[in-house]
Structure formats: C-alpha cells, structure tokens
Amino acid sequence: MSQKEMKQKKNAYSNRFYYPQDEAIEKPFNWKQMTRLLEYIKPYSKTLLPAAFGAVLVNMIVRLLIPILIGQFVIDRAIINQDYQLLVYLIVFVVALYFVNYLANHFRIKTVNVLGQRTIHDLRRQLFTHVQYLSHDFFDKRSAGSILVRILNDVNSLQELFTNGIINILMDAFMLIAIIVILFTLSPQLALAVLVILPLMFYISTKLRRNIRRTWQNVRLIRSRLNSHLNESLQGMRITQSFAQENENAAYFDGVNQENYERERIAMKKSAYFGPIIEMSNAIGTVILIAYGSVLIINQSMEIGTFVTFAFFLGMFWEPISRLGQIYNQLLVAMASSERIFEFLDERPTVKEAETPIILDDMKGQIIFDKVKFSYDDERVALHEISIEVKAGQTIALVGHTGSGKSTIANLISRFYDPTDGRVIIDGHNLRDLSLESLREHISVVLQDTFIFSGTIMENIRFGRPEASDEEVIESAKVVGAHDFIERLAQGYDTEVEERGSILSAGERQLLSFARALLADPKILILDEATASIDTETEMKIQAALRQLLKGRTSIMIAHRLSTIREADNIIVLENGRILEQGDHDELVEKQGEYYSLVKSQFDMLEEN
Ligand SMILES: Nc1ncnc2c1ncn2[C@@H]1O[C@H](COP(=O)(O)OP(=O)(O)OP(=O)(O)O)[C@@H](O)[C@H]1O
C-alpha cells in the first residue's frame, strides 16, 4: 500500500468514529461542576465519608508521630541516656502504633473503595434512567456507540476521583503543610537548605506533567474510538460478512488498535520520566541533608535525634507532592467527563408530560389528526397539514411510497414526537394533556424490525404484559399462530433467545411480536410493515389471527401488501407528507387514482412471477 493510500485509510477510520462532542478530554477546573460532583458523595456524608476521614486521620497522626518518637525519644532520650526501660516502652509503643496504623489503613482502603463504587453506581444508574426517558429526537441525533461511551467510559473516569482522589487531596495537602511546619520547627536553616531545589523541581515537573497529560488525553480519545468501532462492528457483523468486508473491517480495527498501542506506548514512556525526577529531587535533598546536617551536628547546633527525625520527614515530603500532581490531572479529566455526563443529565425530554396529566383508565380508541404538521428537523417537512379521523374500533391502512410519512403518523400517535403544528386527539383529549404512561399503555406497536430481548421466548412475549400468567402467554401465541414453531424449539417456551433473537427467522420474530402485542391487549394497535417478512402460507394463516388481533381495537396498518390492507375500513394514500386520496378498497379502485396504480402494479408483478 502506498503512503498516500495508507494516509487515506487512516483518515477514513479516524473520521468514521469521530464524535466532536466527545473530543474534549480535559477542561479547566470548574468549581460549580466540582460541587455538583460532590453532591454524589452527599448521601454518604454521615456514614462512609466520616469513617474514611477518621481512618485517614489516624493514619496521618501515626505517620507523623513515628519519626518524632524515633528521633526525639528513642535516640535523644533512651539511647543517649542508656535508658533501656524507656527503650522497651518505646518499642512496644511503636509496635502498637504500627498495628493501629495497619488497621486504619485497611479500613480506609475498604471504605474509600466502597464509597467510590457506590457513587459511580448511583451516577451510572441515574444517567441510564435519565437517558431512557429522553425523547426519540435525542436518539436520532446520537449513535448508540457514543451514548455507550459516555455511560461507560466517562463514568469510569470519575471512579478514581471518587475512590481516592477527594480523600487524598485533603490528606496530602494536610501532610505537606504538616511536614513543612515540622521541618522548619526542627531546623529552619536545614529546611531552607534542603528545600532550595523545590522551585526548580516544581517547574520541571509541572512542564513534564502537562506534557504527560496531553499524551494520556490522546490515549483516552483513541480508546473511546476503539469502543465505538467495536460496538458498531459487532452489531453490523452479519452485514460485514455478507459483503465479505472482513478484511476491510479488520484493517479499520488494526488502524485504531495500532494507534491505541502507539499512543499508550508514548504515554507510558513519558510517564516513566516522572518517577526518576522525584527520585532525583529526593537524592539532591538527601545529599544536602547529609552534608549540611553533619556540619550542624559537628558544630553542635543540632542533635543526632533531630537530624534523624528531619531525615524521616524529608523522605516523606515527596510522596504527597507527586500524588497531588496526579490528582490534579485526574481532576481535569473529571471536569471533561463530568461536563459530558451533566450535558446528558441536563437534557430534557422534548416530549413533555403535562403538569397535571390526564390519566386514561379506559380508552375507546378514537383518533383525530387535526391539521397536523410535522418536521424532524428545520430542513424538511415530513407531514403537511394532515387531517384524519379514525373511529374507535376501525382499521385504517396507510399506504404510499417510501418516505411518504407513514411511520411518522404512527410515531405521532404514540407521541414519540409532538406535532410542529396542529393537534393529535385521542378520545377527545389532546395528546399533550394525557399522561404518557397511560397513553402508551393502551397502544402496542409491532415494527417490521422486531426487537427481541435476550431472555426466554416466554419472557419476550410477556414483555407486553408483565403480570400475565404462563397460560395467557401460551394462549396469545396460539391465537397468532406462533405456538407451533415455539413447540418445535428444543426448550419450547423456555428457549433462550439472545442478540435480538438471531436464532429465529424474521417471520418467527414477527409472530412473537404479534403474540406480545395481543397479550398487551391494547386499544390501539399499530402494525408498521408488520406482515412484510411473512411468507404467503404463513400470511394466510395469520390473516385469520390478524382478524382476531384487530377485533375491538383501533388499528393503524402500514403495509405494502395488498392482502393485508384491502379489508381496512379506510385506506389513506400518502405522498410526500400529504394525503393524496382516501376511502375503502372498492372506492379507491373505482376512482382509478394512485391507489389503483399501486394495486395494479402489485398484480402485474404477481402475474409476471
Ligand atoms: N428520525 C428522523 N429524522 C429526520 N428525518 C426523518 C426521520 N425519520 C424519518 N425522516 C424523514 O421523514 C420523511 C418521512 O419518513 P417516514 O419514516 O414517515 O416514511 P415512511 O412512509 O414510513 O417510509 P417507509 O415506507 O420507507 O418506512 C422521510 O423523508 C424521512 O427521510
């Protein structure tokens, strides 16, 4: 492959999984956002949080006490005065302190882990629940992959902050101040001398950190693309195989995967510089300590114990510095992730529940479209002033060329979208005034591309009415003619179907969704191209079942097949979002308009075959 082709290929994959809204990997620190994040810890402010702080406090006190005990007491008092009894007491005391420290540490780690896990769990649950209630237009604008990345990756990247970050910031800041105060109290001259390299080290490490941070940003970016690519590839695997595009797809994957490897390698390499710099600062500090400290001891300006205590504290000085830098990076990443999470959480459903919604316990099923206009976006109008009346219990069929607006009408009846103008009225109520839940409870939709959830056949049919008994499930399967094929499956109704029901044929999936719809016993039934995947023999069988299914309900059928629509009470022929003609089959045939030509073309096709 030439250089140019390689470059083209590289651009192709990076454009394919490029989500501009997910590009910002870090954002400046923002207090408002931080306080909003801290809200998630609030439920634990009386339980886990004080427990963790208590343990941290014990740990800090012990760590600060040990060097003082060793220098000021063990060396300067017990050893110098040869007071062996005091020495034994001190050793016992130090052992006890270490033991308490061990317990406190153990408790702290356990508590902060639980705290982190719980806050992440709460946040993820809130995010998922919230996203579930968002309207269809939200999902129209975003790919499943990009939503997935936010609920998984962005929430995950807050985990470390909630687990250790917040506690560590406070602990390290406190330790640092305490150590500086102690160093200056022990010996101001020596403290000044050893900390002289601090500004230089601070400068180098800030520069380096910024650089390292950028390389990790790149890693996160490519990981999120890797996720999206995987998600799309696995979902589209059948299409990939049927077009024999495995090699192309593998090349895309290789590209992203290789880049992931490269970026991680660079990030790791740069990160590896950081440890040695801290080490070196520590080394320089120690050399100054030995040189200048010895002079002070020889001059008798410092006692040996003080020197030892000083050495201990100096050793402890670099750890919080290094960790605070890390936490700062974590904070910036958390700012970007939380901004994206809050963007979803602040998103409100465009289809809003009325302030005092009307709950329909019973629905008759009369539907009126009163001069309804609708656009999905600013550019195109999907429906132009549509007026339709469907009496309760009637069956209407929507026919028309692809893109003429049939599914859009169905979407408006379920109130997945609100009309841009005009009203949709059910049983005399504007849909905007009805409770969404009670409206949708009375409506069942059977789509051409039936969605089968992972679980058993029984569970999938029961989805229509969760409280239905096994007998009721089987009965509805019998009515729609699904019982026979289910019985032939190895485990019958207990057969597990996964991955959108891939072990079933398209027709079988549709029969299942019929059974599901029948079980739900809706007042309004919407069948969107619902019989398209069923062969003629099954279709004959199902015609009778369909008559049962339609009985006593208002039905909207979107179908291309003549056999399913000729019995409808009213047939509405749509073109480019307008009603072209309407009437029953005989009327429309007599009229010899658009419907007549549709019917004729189907017959011609049948005769040709
Ligand atoms: N989610 C969407 N966002 C933007 N435009 C959309 C959306 N869904 C449909 N459209 C557009 O609205 C118009 C009507 O689409 P609709 O799905 O109602 O057609 P249809 O008659 O059901 O077609 P088909 O027979 O192919 O299912 C089309 O021009 C389509 O491109």
Q: Is residue 530 part of a domain?
A: no
Return the closest-CA partner of residue 197 out of 301, 307, 292.
292
Pocket probe for ligand 1: among 140, 407, 447, 533, the residue whose CB has the most ligand atoms within 8 Å is: 407
Residue 411 Cβ inside 6 Å of ligand 1? The answer reads no
CA of 509 to the centre of ligand 1 (A): 23
Ligand 1 centroid–CA 405 distance in Å is 6
- 174 and 106 in a common domain: yes
Cα 340 to ligand 1 centroid, rounded to whole Å: 30
Supply the DSSP symbol for 349: -
In terms of Cβ atoms closer than 10 Å to its own Cβ (0-12, 13-18, 19+), residue 478 is middle
Same structural domain, 248 and 380: no
Out of 59-68, 87-96, 406-415, 598-607, which region has the weakest mean confidence (pLDDT)? 598-607
The 10s digit of each residue's pLDDT in 241-273 is: 888 888 888 888 888 899 889 988 988 888 787
Looking at the CA of residue 137, tell me the nearest atom of ligand 1: 1
pTM comes to: 0.76
| CA 10 distance to own-chain centroid | 27
Cα 415 to middle of ligand 1, angstroms: 16
- Residue 60 included in any domain: yes
Atom of ligand 1 lying closest to residue 377 CA: 4
Q: What are phi and psi of 102, to 5 degrees?
A: -60, -45
Report which listed range, 264-278, 323-337, 430-444, 542-556, is most confident.
430-444
Give me the DSSP letters along 308-324: HHHHHHHHHHHHHHHHH
Residue 15 has pLDDT above 70, yes or no: no
The answer on 414 and 318 residing in a single domain is no
Question: pLDDT tier at 157 (50, 70, 90 boundaries)?
Answer: confident
Cα 451 to ligand 1 centre (Å): 19
Q: Looking at the predicted complex, does its ipTM rise above 0.90?
A: yes
d(CA 585, CA 562): 10
Among 288, 313, 346, the domain boundary falls at: 346
Is residue 407 in contact with ligand 1, taking CB distance under 6 Å?
yes
Same domain, 41 and 81: yes
Which pLDDT belongs to residue 423? 94
Number of structural domains in the chain: 2
How remote is the CA of residue 136 from the centroid of ligand 1, in Å? Answer: 13
> Can you say whether the dihedral through the CA atoms of 209, 210, 214, 220 is positive or negative?
positive
Nearest CA to ligand 1 atom 5: 376
Nearest protein Cα to ligand 1, atom 31: 403
479 located within any domain = no
DSSP 42: G
Write out the residue range of the structural domain in which residue 415 sits: 365-442+562-609
Given this model, what pLDDT does residue 511 score? 84
- Kindly state if the Cβ of 403 falls inside 6 Å of ligand 1: yes
What is the chain's mean pLDDT, rounded? 84
Say how many Å lie between the CA of residue 334 and the centre of ligand 1: 39
13 lies in the same domain as 107? yes
* 405 Cβ neighbours under 8 A, 6+ residues apart: 382, 383, 386, 574, 576, 577
CA dihedral of 396, 402, 406, 408, whole degrees rounded to 10: 170
Task: Say how far apart CA 146 and CA 187 lie, in whole Å.
Answer: 57
Q: Which of 238-252, 306-320, 406-420, 594-608 has the highest mean pLDDT?
A: 406-420
Q: Is residue 39 part of a domain?
A: yes
Q: Is the CB of 382 under 6 A from ligand 1?
A: yes
Using CA positions, which residue lies closest to atom 19 of ligand 1? 403
**Which DSSP state fits 358?**
B
> What CA–CA distance (Å, rounded) separates 100 from 510?
65
Note whether residue 512 is domain-resident: no
Q: Does the structure show a pLDDT above 60 at 27?
A: yes
Among protein residues, the one with the nearest Cα to ligand 1's atom 2 is: 376
d(CA 607, CA 609) in angstroms, rounded, equals 5
Give the end of a domain, one of 288, 311, 346. Answer: 346
Q: Judge whether 499 and 553 are in contact, CB under 8 Å.
A: no
408 C-alpha to ligand 1 centroid (Å): 6
- Can you name the residues that pair with 54 across neighbouring β-strands? none
Atom of ligand 1 nearest to the CA of 136: 1
Mutation choice for ligand 1 from 140, 142, 376, 381, CB with most ligand atoms inside 8 A: 376
Region 417-432 average pLDDT: 94
Q: What is the pLDDT of residue 609?
A: 52
Residue nearest to atom 3 of ligand 1 (CA): 376
The lowest-confidence range among 274-283, 462-471, 568-577 is 274-283
Answer yes or no: do 127 and 173 share one domain. yes
Q: Give 409 Cα–ligand 1 centroid separation in angstroms.
A: 10
For residues 267 and 141, state if they share a domain.
yes
516-573 pLDDT, tens digit per residue, is 888 888 999 998 865 555 666 666 666 666 777 777 889 998 876 677 788 889 999 9
Residue 402 CB less than 6 A away from ligand 1: yes
Q: What ligand 1 atom has the least distance to the C-alpha of 400?
A: 21
Ligand 1 atom nearest to 574, measured from its CA: 21
CA distance 310 to 477: 81
Supply the CATH number for residue 570's domain.
Answer: 3.40.50.300
> Residue 88 has what pLDDT?
92
Q: Are residues 37 and 103 in the same domain?
A: yes
Percentage of the chain modeled with pLDDT above 90: 31
| Ligand 1 pocket check for 227: Cβ under 6 Å | no
Report the alpha-carbon distance of residue 529 to residue 461 in Å, rounded.
Answer: 20
Phi, psi angles (nearest 5°) of residue 578: -125, 155
Distance from Cα 416 to the centre of ligand 1, integer Å: 14
Cα 366 to Cα 390: distance, rounded to the nearest angstrom: 6
Looking at 346, 378, 407, the residue that finishes a domain is: 346
Does 416 contact ligand 1 (Cβ within 6 A)?
no
Q: For residue 60, give the H/E element and its range.
A: helix 48-68
Q: Does residue 449 have its Cβ closer than 6 Å to ligand 1?
A: no
**Ligand 1 contact, 93 CB (< 6 A):** no
Report CA(411)–ligand 1 centroid distance (Å): 10
At 355-394, the pLDDT tens digits run 899 988 888 999 999 999 999 988 889 999 999 999 999 9
The type of residue at 235 is: Q
In a domain, 544, yes or no: no
Measured in degrees and rounded to the nearest 5, phi and psi for residue 538 equal: -65, -35
- The DSSP H or E segment spanning 572 is strand 570-575
Q: Is the CB of 377 under 6 A from ligand 1?
A: yes
Distance separating alpha carbons of residues 29 and 332, to the nearest angstrom? 6
State the pLDDT at residue 119: 92
Angle (CA) 215-216-218 rounded to 5° is 70
Question: 386: helix, coil or strand?
Answer: strand
Q: Domain holding 113: CATH number? A: 1.20.1560.10
Residues 302 and 400 in one domain: no
Q: Which two tokens stand for residue 202?
A: 């601070």
User: Which residues is 573 bridged to in the sheet?
Assistant: 399, 581
Closest CA to 460 of 435, 438, 489: 489
Is residue 520 a part of any domain in this protein? no
Q: Could you give the 3-state DSSP secondary structure of residue 80?
A: coil
The residues facing 209 across adjacent strands are none
Are 236 and 370 part of one and the same domain? no
Ligand 1 atom 7: residue of nearest CA: 376
Q: Tell which one of 139, 379, 408, 412 to mutate to probe ligand 1, the residue whose CB is within 8 A of the most ligand atoms.
A: 408
371 shares a domain with 286: no
| 183 is a domain residue | yes
Residue 165 banded pLDDT, cuts 50, 70, 90: confident
545: Cα within 13 Å, side-chain hemisphere: 23
Question: Is the domain of 68 the same as that of 188?
Answer: yes
* 376 Cβ below 6 A of ligand 1: yes
Residue nearest atom 25 in ligand 1 by C-alpha distance: 402
Res 91 pLDDT > 80: yes
